[in-house]
Structure 1
Amino acid sequence: MFKHSEESQISITELMLPSHSNFSGKIHGGHILYLMDQIAFACASKHSRNYCVTASVNKVDFLNPIEVGQLVTLKASVNYTGRTSMVIGLRVESENIQTGEVKHCNSSYFTMVAKDENGKNVPVPGLILDTEQSVRRFARSIVRQDQAKSRFSRFNSSEFKIEEHIDVVKAQNAQVTL
């Protein structure tokens, strides 16, 4: 079975309240991460028609602060499907209600795994790729997965070669006392 990503896209908008702010008066990053996880879950569950869990989050950069009183819109779409997992692409934007100015706050990729009622992984529908953008997003997810595997193996304790990294580490704000 295959589905278009549009069939499971989700968008939510929420008003940012003082209770969502940190000590500097900006919206707490943890609150935004919470919302991102919720929408990733909703999108993945809608696509797979199963309960889904978060397996990993690929890089969250907070590009612009979000103010109390702004609207935050989160958009989620399935970018990649494996056998039991999906990569959900997320975009977060803030909108100043008074000026109408919209800012891109962050983008991220959540890997979600579909589960059955017993907690076992279950197959998910594949994606129908019918636009250049959908192929680009799918291919980019494959590249990101390969890069993550490479990073993991290079820094695995049994594969790590200190002589390849010690000079880079010493050039940083660290004191090496080996």
Structure 2
Amino acid sequence: MHDSYCELVLPFGSSPKLLEQYTNVHGGIRTGKLMEHLDSLAGSISYKHMLGPGVDSLGKIEDRGFYIVTASVDRLDMLSPLDPSRDLRLSGQVIYTGKSSMEVAVKMETIGMGLEEETVLLGRFSMVCRDALTHRARNVHPLIISTTEEESLRSMGEDMKKRRQSQALRSLSRVPPSSAEAEALHSFYLKYGQDAKDLGIPRESDERVWLGDTKVEKTMLMFPQERNVHQKIFGGYLMRLAYQLGFSNSSLFMRGGHVRFLSLDGIAFAQPVPIGSILRLTSYVLHSTSSAEFPMIVHVAVTANVVDVQTGNESTTNEFRFTWCRDDSASSVPRRQIVPKTYKEAMLWLEGKRALEMGDEIRGLRTKYA
């Protein structure tokens, strides 16, 4: 397992010139750019597992006979805000292998300045191996476990895969909501969803916002400078674009303030994005809530579609889910509720509710065992 370990150090604390390239409008670090690096790192880790630790160059895919792509990103959880005055280390390794798939665990740590290292992000990527000629699944090397710590990581990777399969079976696109979810939706409808003519009028101190009205779009041409080794658009670049649009949407909904990234709740890569294609990114705020820690939390979806310029037809290539919050004082944060109008929007609202409850559970466990 340890043979696949890779790391990348970004010396923000010692290189003001580098820091300038990553600084956001609030003086912090651009998380979207770091996501791009994490996707590249997960790919490097996967190739290192297949090629061995002694190989330092990928070479041509045709010569290798296989290629590796990102199938999904299960989660990326931001444990604490990034400190731009300290260096940042991105690292990871393969922790589980299936027949043609690999689970890659990644993390980001702040280092330097004579302070103790601090883990600021943990994440999981699912990578798949394909034959370079047939593009069908290709077997990956099994993991050799050397220590009890590695066995624990392997078990965690296996649990990740089983949990992802279980969540797919529970998807609201396949099965109806549970009785508890249906009751929660109905209660919410009775409180916020009736009397459409009152749209925009505060109800019990909460402003009602229709889910469909949160739509934000961006359309762009895909240039070859953003290609990967497979001559398609690099997945990490798409992650950065989606993050930026999702952040913009959440900022608009939460009316500015200090917007903080909490988690990437999932990415599904359905198909590659060709060079030269027209890509349309569409974002909606699916759910809004609050907690004892944060006065407003939102779950945002971003969908990437490739547009056929001759027919106008669109096909979905990627789906992204993010969670942001306002961590200002509660008195400065507006109280707004996302309200679905249609059954489809109601299912999206419930999916957002599930994601926020999962994130709240993870943060609670982290606090409990810190």
Please report the TM-score for the alignment, with normalisation by the length of structure 2: 0.43
Shift of 1:174: 4.3
- Residues 92-127 of structure 1, C-alpha deviations (whole Å, 9 max, x = no match): 1012x4343422111111111123323433111000
The offset of 1:14, in angstroms, is 1.4
* AA partner of residue 3 (structure 2): E
User: Which residue matches 1:82?
Assistant: 98
SS across alignment from 1:48? helix
TM-score by length of 1: 0.84
Q: Are residues 130 and 98 of structure 1, via their aligned partners in 2, closer, same or farther at CA, if it must alter by over 3 Å?
A: closer
**Percent of pairs with identical residues:** 23
Partner SS, residue 165 of structure 1: helix
Matched residues in 1 for 2:177 and 2:78: separation? 33
Larger Rg: 2
Residue matched to 1:35: 37
- The range that moved more, 142-151 or 168-177, is 168-177
Cα 1:167–1:21 shift into 2, 3 Å: farther
Equivalent runs, 1:1-178 vs 2, <5 Å: 5-16=1-12, 17-49=19-51, 50-95=66-111, 97-118=112-133, 119-161=135-177, 163-169=179-185, 170=187, 173-175=337-339
Distance 1:59 1:38 in 2: 16
Tell me if structure 1 keeps the 8 A contact 2:74–2:164. Answer: no
How many residue pairs are counted as aligned between the two chains?
173
**Cα RMSD between the aligned structures?**
2.2
Gaps of 5+ in 2: 13-18, 52-65, 189-288, 290-336, 343-370
Q: Distance in 2 between matches of 1:142 and 1:56?
A: 15
